């Protein structure tokens, strides 16, 4: 009778990259989609879209061409989730995803068959597939080692221009830095608040005025990613016009502004496509109805509501996303209680060295799926005919070390939707 | 090669070494303390932080029990800043040895250790988390001691009386001659520099490493390495120290320390003191064993584990670590034909002062110095160096003396930039390498739930800003720091800490690529336009 | 008809006086925020017409909340308007437009039944909705049920009136006495037989139903009656009702049930008319006015400053449907605190009382003042309101006056500087032996176990966002408060301005990836101090500053 009692075609469980992508792709197919998920991976994203960067991880071998890397990883680890997709499908999924972002005003740039280098807030350099347009000039400046000024702010913790200059000084001698007072507000500063303040052209002007004396001999100016929340490109363009320099952003430590920007795009874009979103709510239980449909309980207490869907995509992520739960003796999947492929004992979960090149075995644990991305149940066959899994929850990959997080999430979500509509 | 001279060279910066430095300095004997890593890097930093009332040893070692009682009282009087006089309970639960319980009070009396029987209701009112299956409870005079503050205060006080100290100084050999050690040779492992020290007398206070160091001088000590792991809970679970009223065994003791509680310990014999690290198996064992005493230990959030290695000096060839005396060994290596070399090892944190006193007595005897020991009565002044290790001090000080621009760099323990700057200012002799680790040791940084995940990055940025680190050094230090925290973090990774660890790895590896080697040409990215 | 005239006059008088009284109070003290920007008159008219059609006639705003609600409302609205115009006001409306109007002719007879049935179905749906929805049940009030009951009684009594008339021989007799001249003996019998057979009249005697008689009856009916009487079969509710009542027809007919039901019907109508200006009954008047005047704008975003009258109309337009409370972002606080004034629909009722000076009890004022403070200005209530009320504007515009007339302990504390507050707390702590040991969420360390130190709570905090220097203006930021509490340093947090500046918007709590109840904790801290000030304040008098 009320909206909540409607039957949906698809329930997307999760609001990280995979969940957002699944909701996007499914609604684009004309399906009636409902989505749940608490603040997930997407809020903690650096904003980069990694596709594939390192393989084999034990050797720390970096790849300039992500497609060759994917080919190599599928060759060496046939179980890797990329093995379930063709390169065309992966390409198509990322293209659709970034096109949606662009339509919503968050443009991404990158090469077709080459990873792009980008500075991280630690001063390291990371290879990634797509960077936000506002960060692109940073990659260009880095490639050319162009005369560049990094601006940082009193009060913004964990972002040190000196650190970037020091770590890069042998490779990029013409990188320099200046720390200024933030033009609006002082004391302890947080990216989201700074971004709101910087949406104001007057604040931008004030800031540029403070920077210009230090920027006489540079071609580029890099900022921590605080240049506006909803329309960063407009801020970047205005700063460029004011300064006559090329402007770029460098991600900050989480929670950075990159995550909220992505989330805002989906908060705007998905409901417009007809997706019913129950944000900030977790699925607390699920039961299979006689009809084969799922009935989910979403949220807790007074705010709990039932959601009925014909099919579901499990995109709940790993431990931080609550897709996997580590008990003292074993790993479990809390929503459907699916079997989790995992090392035998907790002793084998982690290596003794945090930065162990081969990575921690627990990171390859996860949900096993069939070739149609349906989670395998206790019997060895798909647990349900109408349940699909996507994203980091899948077993046999280490997205953190392989640098395939966002790409894998988007591509498997694409595949799951494709299989689900078949 | 740089060369230093001193009258007494103390090897090892644990409680004994720093206590000895202070004892000697107060007697007017100049000394230099050389520590391989940093203050309390060994067992002095890897224990419960329990100031024993002595009641734990009444059955096994009456001498140790009496020593603990006396030394406990002295420390409470002379170093109150390092001690929280919590009081303690001994409790037995259903299934525990009732004969031991019955004998306990009598044994305490024999050692003059105050123990008052509580009725069970009273005990559970005092400590509501105690098991409902309690069968007996006694109140004793246990306390909690901050070993870091203790050693730092000792060192600071020693330094005001002329003592010196060097960190990152690993003994790599002795040059021997005339039946004595002529010079000690050192290597700074962080910088790769070597140096040597000439001294009249050398004291080996390296704890578990004492046997290895003695061997460098051709002397022989048989030491059993008994590794003990401990767990730190996120909250302080009890007001008092809680001991299991039974024959000394694993997972017997829960000690409150400021805002947390420490649970342990185990006893695992290892081959080398360098192998000491807490393990998953020990963690599980501790929790499974201790929950009989305090059930919430099965479900509470743990922050980390850590381990220390007990040096148990073998008199005979006995296998079981717990049956070997916890009393200390003071060895004059004249017996090994090395005239100016003394080893002090074994013992307990509670009796460190006594150990230092006895050692200093021997040193003075050998040097012909006639000065009485002052540490029994002279107050140990609180130092600026040691003060930041107190849990809760940093936030209180920050809240009360707000400087508008003082940012919190470590959120978990609320250590502000000013506190960190003050720590750096107060370690002039220790500036240079491994700053982040040194800050971590001298404060609560990295000790909270995030285990260095966020604070490490923020403080590294600050160290760069202040010019304390340059080039890639800060990043390397950060990796070392996080790696070091990981030793204690990895054994407790289930439940919420697993979530934390997932986030931490996503940050360091997923986002920052810090596990990769960044010194290769691959990272110049010159092919990109 | 004296009864009718007196009744009508009385009801109308009450109604008119009530409306005048109510409209006269369409004013009040409000805080104005911005100068009013006038929009073009033509534009205004355009939007008003649009709003009239969409929101008033088609009930579009109700449609956005729930289909069931829209359906029920539309049925009642169109059904009742039909009855009102074509039935109750037939002499003035229907007869004017349709010269040959007779209420017993079709389509009027049919339409009357149709309108009545629509209204009745709508009412049933409304009752079902109130009984079925647990959330709504919490909000359902006497007035809601009273309105449903009165309306239901009007419709039911109407149907019964019509049914009893259909079966009544007395009514038939009156008609034949006046309009039927029998030509032959037996004509009347034939007509009676025909009417009993076709029209459902239940005579006390049975008339022959042979074909011949009926044929004669039919032709007589054709000659004399059909000009004024359509076949009652088109009264598709009343006629079956009459059939159902046939077994008791004799009793009904002899007791002149048609007259009894007429009285009932008329009395209920008068009650409804008289009740119109009161409470929820007024919404059929005020809500359309409000919808047309305000046109669903987000006033403050469009530079429009509502006048006091606009705001009063808005308050009057509330039907207490409860949609706002169902959508309110701080509704969770209500489940925790139990103060109804947190919910917009209830807050609005209290605000109305407050603005008109009816809210006088101290306890009521305190609860209202406290509840009114808990609002995040998220605009959800305004956006959802089916009556188009700009609730958020009302909250903001009433704030200053509430603070002035009903200050809460929180305000008293808030007006002090951090140092002054610290002194008050110190004094209180000295006498803390008399204070109740408060143990709640904030004291339970498990509340913070899940914290991963990501600082999201501070990042999303709108209070922090608007501070020029958060650490200076708020003393402590949300995650710092959580960390101090985690470390057991609760006393350090109580005086922090953040605790007092929190708008309980719940953004922190909603965005926390670990579901830590940040906002609940902050709110509890505030209550802790307020309780201390209340309980400990007396003993602290003369001991430093009194509050």
pLDDT (0 to 100) of residue B441: 82
pLDDT value at residue B32: 96
Element (H, E) at B195: strand B194-204
Per-residue confidence band for C423, with pLDDT thresholds at 50, 70 and 90 = low
Q: Which chains have 3+ CB pairs within 8 A of C? A: A, B
Of A255, A301, A302, the CB nearest to C459: A255
Least confident of A100-104, B190-194, C25-29, C286-290: C25-29
Q: State mean pLDDT over B61-80.
A: 93
Domains in chain C: how many in total? Answer: 4
Q: For residue B246, what pLDDT is reported?
A: 92
Residue C362 lies in a domain: yes
* Cα C163 off chain centre by: 33
Taking CA atoms, C342 is separated from C28, C313, C325, C373, C414, in Å, by 22, 22, 9, 8, 20
pLDDT for C250? 81
Q: Decide if A301 and C335 are in contact by the 8 Å CB cutoff.
A: yes
Q: How far is A325 from chain B (nearest CA, A)?
A: 7
Mean pLDDT of chain A: 92
Q: Is B461 in the same domain as B522?
A: yes
- Write the residue in B405, B479, B503 that is nearest to A355 by C-beta: B479
Task: Give which of A354, A360, A401 to mutate to test B binding, by max B Cβ within 10 Å.
Answer: A354
Smallest Cβ–Cβ distance between C453 and the set B300, B392, B450 belongs to B450
Q: Subunits touching B (CB < 8 Å, at least 3 pairs)? A: A, C
Pair B395, B498 in one domain = yes
For the CA atoms of B40, B41, B44, B47, what is the dihedral angle to 10 degrees? 130
- Per-residue pLDDT reduced to its tens digit, C81-120: 888 888 888 888 888 888 778 888 878 888 889 999 999 9
Task: Determine phi and psi for A189, rounding to 5 degrees.
Answer: -120, 145
pLDDT at B154 over 90: yes
Mean pLDDT value across residues B296-317: 85
B154 and B386 Cβ atoms separated by less than 8 Å: no
Q: Most distant CA pair in chain B: distance in Å?
A: 83
Residues linked to residue B313 through DSSP beta bridges, in sequence order: B223
Q: B245-283, pLDDT tens digit by residue?
A: 998 888 899 999 888 899 989 999 999 999 899 999 999
Same domain, B134 and B153: no
Among residues B14, B94, B84, which one has the least CA distance to residue B328? B14
Question: pLDDT at position B318, please?
Answer: 40
Nearest to B281 among A122, A186, A347 (CB): A347
Tell me the HSE value of B182 on the side-chain side, using a 13 A CA sphere: 4
> Cα–Cα–Cα angle for A259, A230, A97, nearest 5°?
60
Whether B38 and B170 map to the same domain: the answer is: yes
Q: In what order do the strands lie in the sheet with A175-180?
A: A175-180, A148-153, A220-224, A246-250
Question: Among the ranges A265-274, B391-400, C506-515, which has the highest mean pLDDT value?
Answer: A265-274
| Residue B56 forms part of a structural domain | no
- Kindly compute the dihedral angle of the four CA atoms of residues B234, B239, B240, B242, in this order, to the nearest 10 degrees: -50
Question: Average pLDDT of A291-308?
Answer: 87
Chain A CB contacts of B525 under 8 Å are: 117, 125, 139, 142-143
Domain with C75, as residue range(s), is: 51-140
Dist. CA C286–CA C274, nearest whole Å = 16
Q: Quick: pLDDT tens for A62-99.
A: 999 999 999 999 999 999 999 999 999 999 999 999 99
Contact criterion met (CB < 8 Å) for C486 and B234: yes
Please tell me the least confidently modeled range out of A153-162, B88-97, C207-216, C407-416. C407-416
User: Which of the residue ranges B33-42, C296-305, C384-393 would you say has the lowest mean pLDDT?
Assistant: C296-305
B111 and B237 housed in the same domain: yes
List of residues 6+ apart from C185 with CB closer than 8 A: none
C122 shares a domain with C93? yes
Q: Is residue B320 part of a domain?
A: no
A:124-163 residues touching chain C, CB 8 A cutoff: none
Domain count, chain B: 3
Shortest distance between the Cα of B259 and any Cα of chain C, in A, equals: 5
Looking at the complex, report in whole angstroms how far the Cα of residue B500 sits from the nearest Cα belonging to chain A: 7
List chain A residues with CB under 8 Å of B453: none
pLDDT over threshold 70, residue C301: no
Q: What is the mean pLDDT of residues A259-270?
A: 89
- Chain B residues with CB within 8 Å of chain C CB: 234-236, 259, 300-301, 391-392, 395-396, 399, 402, 404, 407-408, 411-414, 448-450, 453-454, 496, 499-500, 503
Determine the Cα–Cα distance for residues C408 and A178; give it in Å rounded to an integer. 48
Interface of B with A in 385-444 (CB under 8 A): 404-405, 407-409
- What pLDDT score was predicted for residue C437? 45
Range of the domain at B508: 387-528
In whole angstroms, what is the distance from residue C55 CA to residue C385 CA?
11
Interface with chain B: mutation pick from C419, C457, C487, highest number of B CBs within 10 Å? C487
Highest mean pLDDT range out of B127-136, B419-428, C96-105, C269-278? Answer: B127-136
Name the residue in chain A with its Cα closest to that of C476. Answer: A188
Nearest chain B CA: its distance from A353 CA (Å) = 6
Q: In terms of C-beta density within 10 A (0-12 exposed, 13-18 middle, 19 or more buried), how is residue A249 classed? A: buried
* Residue C265 covered by a domain: no
Give the pLDDT of residue C544.
38
Nearest chain C residue to A320, by CA: C513
Task: Establish if C88 belongs to a structural domain.
Answer: yes
In terms of domains, do C293 and C363 share one? yes
The two structure tokens encoding residue A254: 């989480």
Distance between first and last Cα of chain C = 67
For residues B115 and B249, state if they share a domain. Answer: yes
Domain boundary among C406, C440, C455: C406
Q: What would the DSSP string read from start to end of C309-356? A: HHHHHHHHT-----HHHHH-TTHHHHHHH--GGGSHHHHHHHHHHHHT
- Average pLDDT over every residue of C12-40: 74
What residue of B is the nearest CA neighbor of C422? Answer: B400
Residues C483 and C460 in one domain: yes
Same domain, B455 and B350: no
The answer to whether residue C504 scores a pLDDT higher than 90 is: no
Average pLDDT of every residue of chain C: 79
Shared domain check, C374 and C301: yes
Domains of chain A: 4-105+259-321+385-420 (3.50.50.60), 121-250 (3.40.50)
Q: Is residue C495 located within the same domain as residue C430? A: yes
Q: Is A334 on the interface with C (CB under 8 A)?
A: no
Q: Which comes out higher in pLDDT, residue C253 or C378?
A: C253
Which residues of chain A have a CB within 8 Å of the CB of B407?
A: 155, 157, 187-188
How far from the centroid of its chain's Cα atoms is residue A158's Cα?
20
Residues B285 and B335 in one domain: no
Q: What is the pLDDT of residues A363-392, one digit of tens each?
A: 999 999 999 999 999 999 999 999 999 999
Contact C465 A40 (CB under 8 A): no
> How confident is residue B529, by pLDDT bands cut at 50, 70 and 90?
very low
**Cβ neighbours of C450 in B, within 8 Å:** 496, 499
Q: Is residue B61 part of a domain?
A: no
Q: Which of residues 423-462 of C touch A (CB under 8 A)?
A: 452, 454-456, 458-460
Q: What is the pLDDT of residues C355-382, one digit of tens each?
A: 887 777 777 787 788 777 777 777 788 8
Of C68, C456, C465, the CB nearest to A193: C465
Do B135 and B244 fall into the same domain?
yes
C130 and C201 housed in the same domain = no
In a domain, C156, yes or no: no
Query: B496: nearest CA in chain C?
Result: C450
- Say whether C450 and B259 touch across the interface (CB within 8 A): no
Asked, for residue C333, whether it belongs to a domain, the answer is: yes
Note whether C67 contacts A2, CB cutoff 8 Å.
yes
Classified as helix, coil or strand, B451 is coil
Quote the mean pLDDT of chain B.
89
CA C16 to chain centroid, in Å, comes to: 22
Residue B34 pLDDT > 70: yes
C436 and C336 in a single domain? The answer is no
Q: Does B506 touch chain A (CB under 8 A)?
A: yes
Q: What is the CATH number of the domain that holds B215?
A: 3.50.50.60
Q: Tokens standing for B437?
A: 């680790």
Q: Give the rounded percent of residues in chain B with a pLDDT score beyond 90.
A: 69
Q: pLDDT at position C431, please? A: 45
| pLDDT band, very low/low/confident/very high, at B128 (cuts 50, 70, 90) | very high
- The CATH number for C374's domain is 1.10.1060
Distance between CA B143 and CA C190 in Å, rounded? Answer: 114
Does C186 or C518 have the greater pLDDT score?
Answer: C518
Residue C5: inside a domain: no
Q: CA-based angle B215:B221:B226, to the nearest 5?
A: 110
CA distance A8 to chain B (A): 31
Q: Are residues B358 and B442 in the same domain?
A: no
Of A394-403, B212-221, C69-78, the range with the lowest mean pLDDT is C69-78
Q: Do B465 and A347 touch (CB under 8 A)?
A: no
Are C121 and C188 members of one domain? no
pLDDT band at B434 (very low <50, low <70, confident <90, very high): confident
Decide: helix, strand or coil at residue A217. Answer: coil
Nearest residue in C to A259, CA atom: C456
DSSP per-residue codes, B390-416: STTHHHHHHHHT--TT--EEETTTTEE
CB contact under 8 A, A117 and B528: yes
The verdict on residue C295 lying in a domain is: yes
Nearest to C452 among B399, B404, B499 (CB): B499
pLDDT at C392: 83
Q: With CB atoms and an 8 Å threshold, state whether B234 touches C479.
A: no
Query: B415: distance to nearest CA of chain C, Å?
Result: 11
B413 interaction partners in chain C (CB closer than 8 Å) = 483, 487
Tell me what pLDDT residue C414 has. Answer: 55
Of B483, B495, B528, the CB nearest to A116: B528
> Is residue A254 within 8 angstroms of chain C, CB to CB?
yes
Let me know whether C383 and C481 are in one domain.
no
Structure tokens that stand for B23 in this block: 């004892």
Chain segment C190-239, per-residue pLDDT in tens:
888 888 888 888 887 777 778 888 888 888 888 778 777 888 888 888 88
Which residues in chain C have Cβ-Cβ distances shorter than 8 Å to B450? 452-453
Q: In this structure, is the dihedral angle defined by the CA atoms of residues C40, C46, C49 and C51, taken in order, positive or negative?
A: negative
What is the structure's pLDDT at B431? 53
Asked if residue B218 is part of any domain, the answer here is yes
Whether C459 and A196 lie within 8 Å, measured CB to CB: no
- Residue C435 pLDDT > 50: no
Q: Which chain B residues have a beta carbon less than 8 Å from that of A62?
A: 516, 522
Note whether C425 and C442 are same-domain residues. yes
**pLDDT tens-digit readout, B467-496:** 888 888 899 999 999 999 999 999 999 999
pLDDT tier for residue A23 given thresholds of 50, 70 and 90: very high
Mutation for B interface: C453, C455, C459, C513, most B CBs within 10 A: C453
Q: Provide the number of CB pairs (under 8 Å) joining chain B to chain C.
A: 72
A192 touches C: beta carbon within 8 Å:
yes
- Whether B233 and B262 map to the same domain: the answer is yes
Contact C513 A2 (CB under 8 A): no
| Local structure of A37: helix, strand or coil | strand
Contact present, C368 and C359 (Cβ < 8 Å): yes
Q: How confident is the model at residue C311 (pLDDT cuts 50, 70, 90)?
A: confident
Is there a domain that residue B400 lies in?
A: yes
Mean pLDDT score, A259-265: 89
The verdict on residue B427 lying in a domain is yes
Is the pLDDT confidence value at C304 over 70? Answer: no
- Note whether C483 contacts B450, CB cutoff 8 Å: no
**Residues A154-167: what's their mean pLDDT?**
94
Nearest-Cα residue of chain B relative to residue C489: B392
Quick one: B498 and B392 in the same domain? yes
C243 and C317: one domain?
no
**Position B54 confidence tier, pLDDT thresholds 50, 70, 90:** very high
At which of C258, C273, C302 does a domain end? C258
Candidates C448, C474, C450, C451; CA nearest to C461 is C474
pLDDT beyond 80 at B413: yes
């Amino acid at each position: 009778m009320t909206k909540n009692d409607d039957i949906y075609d698809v329930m997307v469980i999760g609001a990280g990259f995979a969940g957002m992508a699944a909701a996007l792709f499914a609604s684009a197919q004309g399906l009636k989609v409902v989505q749940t998920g608490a603040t997930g991976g997407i809020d903690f994203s650096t904003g980069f879209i990694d596709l594939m960067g390192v393989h084999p991880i034990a050797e720390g071998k970096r790849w300039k061409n992500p497609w060759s890397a994917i080919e190599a990883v599928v060759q060496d680890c046939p179980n890797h989730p990329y093995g379930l997709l063709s390169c065309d499908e992966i390409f198509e999924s990322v293209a659709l995803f970034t096109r949606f972002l662009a339509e919503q005003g968050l443009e991404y740039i990158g090469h077709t068959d080459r990873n792009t280098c980008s500075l991280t807030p630690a001063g390291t350099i990371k290879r990634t597939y797509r960077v936000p347009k506002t960060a692109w000039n940073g990659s260009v400046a880095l490639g050319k080692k162009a005369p560049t000024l990094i601006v940082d702010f009193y009060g913004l913790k964990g972002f040190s221009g000196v650190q970037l200059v020091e770590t890069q000084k042998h490779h990029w001698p013409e990188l320099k830095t200046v720390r200024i007072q933030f033009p609006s507000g002082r004391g302890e500063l947080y990216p989201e608040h700074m971004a709101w303040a910087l949406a104001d052209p007057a604040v931008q002007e004030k800031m540029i005025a403070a920077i210009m004396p230090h920027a006489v001999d540079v071609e580029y100016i890099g900022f921590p990613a605080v240049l506006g929340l909803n329309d960063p490109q407009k801020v970047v363009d205005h700063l460029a016009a004011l300064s006559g320099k090329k402007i770029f952003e460098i991600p900050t430590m989480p929670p950075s502004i990159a995550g909220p920007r992505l989330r805002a795009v989906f908060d705007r874009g998905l409901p417009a496509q007809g997706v019913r979103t129950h944000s900030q709510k977790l699925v607390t239980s699920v039961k299979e109805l006689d009809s084969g449909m799922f009935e989910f309980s979403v949220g807790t207490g007074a705010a709990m509501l039932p959601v009925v869907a014909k099919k579901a995509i499990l995109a709940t992520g790993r431990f931080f996303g609550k897709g996997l739960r580590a008990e003292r003796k074993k790993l479990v999947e809390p929503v459907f209680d699916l079997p989790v492929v995992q090392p035998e004992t907790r002793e084998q979960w982690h290596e003794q060295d945090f930065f162990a090149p081969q990575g921690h075995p627990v990171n390859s644990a996860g949900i096993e799926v069939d070739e149609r991305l349906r989670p395998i149940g206790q019997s060895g066959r798909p647990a349900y005919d109408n349940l699909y899994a996507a994203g980091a929850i899948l077993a046999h990959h280490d997205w953190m070390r392989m640098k395939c997080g966002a790409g894998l999430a988007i591509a498997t979500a694409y595949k799951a939707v494709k299989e689900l509509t078949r | 090669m740089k060369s230093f001279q001193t009258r007494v060279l103390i090897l090892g910066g644990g409680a004994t070494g720093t206590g000895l430095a202070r004892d000697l300095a107060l007697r007017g004997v100049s000394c230099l303390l050389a520590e391989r890593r940093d203050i309390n890097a060994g067992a002095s930093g890897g224990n419960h932080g329990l100031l024993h009332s002595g009641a734990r040893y009444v059955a096994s070692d009456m001498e140790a029990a009496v020593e603990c009682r006396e030394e406990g009282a002295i420390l409470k009087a002379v170093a109150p800043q390092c001690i929280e006089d919590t009081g303690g309970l001994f409790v037995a639960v259903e299934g525990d040895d009732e004969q031991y319980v019955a004998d306990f009070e009598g044994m305490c009396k024999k050692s003059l250790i105050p123990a008052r029987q509580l009725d069970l209701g009273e005990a559970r009112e005092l400590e509501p988390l105690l098991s409902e299956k309690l069968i007996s409870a006694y109140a004793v005079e246990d306390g909690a001691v901050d070993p870091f503050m203790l050693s730092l205060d000792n060192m600071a006080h020693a330094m005001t009386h002329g003592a010196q100290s060097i960190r990152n100084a690993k003994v790599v050999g002795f040059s021997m001659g005339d039946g004595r050690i002529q010079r000690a040779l050192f290597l700074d492992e962080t910088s790769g520099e070597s140096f040597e020290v000439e001294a009249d007398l050398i004291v080996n206070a390296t704890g578990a490493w004492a046997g290895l160091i003695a061997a460098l001088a051709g002397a022989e000590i048989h030491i059993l390495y008994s590794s003990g792991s401990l767990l730190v809970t996120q909250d302080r679970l009890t007001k008092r120290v809680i001991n299991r009223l039974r024959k000394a065994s694993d997972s017997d003791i829960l000690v409150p320390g400021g805002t947390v509680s420490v649970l342990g310990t185990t006893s695992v014999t290892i081959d080398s003191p360098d192998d000491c690290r807490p393990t998953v198996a020990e963690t599980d064992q501790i929790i499974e064993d201790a929950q009989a005493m305090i059930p919430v230990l099965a479900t509470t959030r743990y922050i980390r584990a850590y381990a220390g290695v007990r040096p148990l000096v073998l008199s005979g060839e006995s296998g079981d670590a717990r049956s070997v005396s916890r009393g200390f060994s003071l060895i004059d290596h004249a017996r090994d034909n090395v005239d100016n070399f003394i080893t002090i090892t074994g013992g307990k944190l509670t009796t460190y002062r006594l150990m230092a006193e006895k050692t200093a007595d021997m040193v003075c005897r050998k040097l012909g110095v006639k000065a009485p020991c002052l540490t029994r009565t002279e107050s140990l002044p609180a130092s600026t160096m040691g003060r930041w290790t107190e849990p809760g001090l940093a936030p209180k000080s920050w809240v009360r003396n707000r400087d508008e621009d003082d940012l919190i760099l470590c959120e978990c323990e609320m250590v502000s930039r000013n506190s960190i700057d003050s720590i750096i200012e107060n370690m002039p002799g220790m500036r240079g390498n491994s700053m982040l680790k040194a800050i971590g040791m001298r404060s609560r940084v990295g000790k909270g739930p995030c285990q260095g995940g966020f604070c490490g990055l923020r403080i590294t940025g600050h160290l760069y800003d202040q010019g304390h680190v340059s080039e890639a050094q800060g990043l390397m230090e950060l990796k070392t720091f996080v790696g070091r925290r990981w030793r204690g973090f990895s054994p407790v990774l289930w439940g919420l800490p697993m979530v934390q660890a997932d986030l931490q790895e996503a940050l360091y590896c997923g986002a920052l690529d810090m596990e990769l080697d960044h010194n290769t040409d691959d990272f110049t990215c010159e092919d990109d336009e | 008809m004296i009864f009718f005239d007196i009744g009508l006059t009385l009801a109308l008088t009450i109604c008119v006086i009530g409306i005048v009284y109510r409209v006269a109070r369409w004013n009040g003290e409000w805080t104005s925020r911005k100068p009013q920007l006038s929009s073009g008159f033509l534009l205004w008219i355009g939007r008003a017409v649009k709003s009239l059609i969409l929101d008033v006639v088609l009930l579009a705003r109700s449609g956005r909340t729930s289909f069931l609600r829209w359906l029920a409302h539309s049925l009642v609205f169109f059904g009742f308007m039909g009855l009102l115009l074509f039935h109750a006001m037939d002499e003035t409306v229907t007869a004017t437009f349709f010269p040959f109007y007779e209420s017993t002719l079709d389509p009027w007879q049919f339409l009357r039944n149709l309108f009545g049935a629509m209204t009745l179905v709508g009412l049933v749906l409304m009752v079902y909705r109130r009984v079925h929805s647990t959330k709504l049940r919490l909000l359902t009030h006497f007035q809601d049920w009273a309105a449903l009951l009165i309306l239901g009684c009007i419709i039911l009594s109407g149907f019964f009136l019509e049914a009893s008339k259909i079966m009544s021989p007395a009514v038939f007799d009156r008609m034949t006495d006046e309009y039927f001249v029998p030509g032959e003996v037996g004509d009347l019998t034939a007509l009676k037989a025909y009417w009993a057979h076709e029209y459902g009249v239940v005579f006390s005697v049975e008339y022959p139903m042979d074909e011949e008689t009926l044929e004669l009856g039919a032709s007589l009916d054709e000659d004399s009656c059909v000009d004024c009487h359509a076949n009652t079969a088109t009264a598709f509710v009343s006629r079956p009702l009459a059939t159902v009542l046939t077994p008791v027809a004799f009793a009904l007919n002899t007791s002149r049930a048609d007259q009894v039901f007429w009285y009932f019907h008329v009395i209920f109508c008068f009650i409804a008319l008289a009740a119109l200006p009161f409470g929820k009954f007024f919404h059929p008047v005020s809500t359309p006015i409000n919808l047309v005047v305000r046109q669903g704008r987000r006033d403050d975003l469009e530079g429009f400053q509502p006048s006091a009258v606009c705001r009063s109309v808005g308050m009057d337009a509330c039907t207490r449907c409860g949609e706002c409370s169902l959508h309110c972002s701080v509704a969770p606080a209500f489940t925790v605190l139990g103060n109804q004034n947190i919910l917009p629909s209830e807050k609005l009722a209290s605000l109305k009382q407050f603005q008109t000076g009816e809210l006088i009890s101290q306890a009521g004022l305190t609860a209202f003042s406290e509840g009114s403070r808990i609002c995040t200005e998220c605009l959800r209530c305004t956006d959802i309101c089916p009556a188009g009320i700009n609730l958020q504007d009302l909250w903001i515009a009433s704030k200053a006056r509430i603070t002035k007339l009903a200050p809460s302990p929180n305000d008293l504390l808030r007006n002090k500087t951090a140092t002054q507050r610290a002194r008050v707390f110190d004094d209180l702590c000295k006498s803390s032996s008399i204070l109740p040991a408060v143990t709640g969420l904030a004291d339970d360390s498990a509340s913070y176990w899940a914290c991963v130190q990501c600082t999201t709570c501070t990042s999303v905090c709108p209070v922090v966002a608007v501070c020029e220097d958060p650490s200076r203006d708020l003393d402590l930021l949300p995650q710092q408060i959580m960390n101090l509490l985690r470390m057991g340093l609760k006393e350090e947090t109580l005086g922090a301005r953040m605790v007092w500046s929190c708008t309980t918007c719940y953004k922190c709590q909603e965005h926390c990836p670990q579901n830590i109840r940040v906002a609940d904790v902050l709110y509890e801290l505030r209550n802790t101090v307020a309780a201390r000030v209340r309980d400990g304040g007396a003993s602290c008098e003369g001991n430093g500053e009194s509050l």
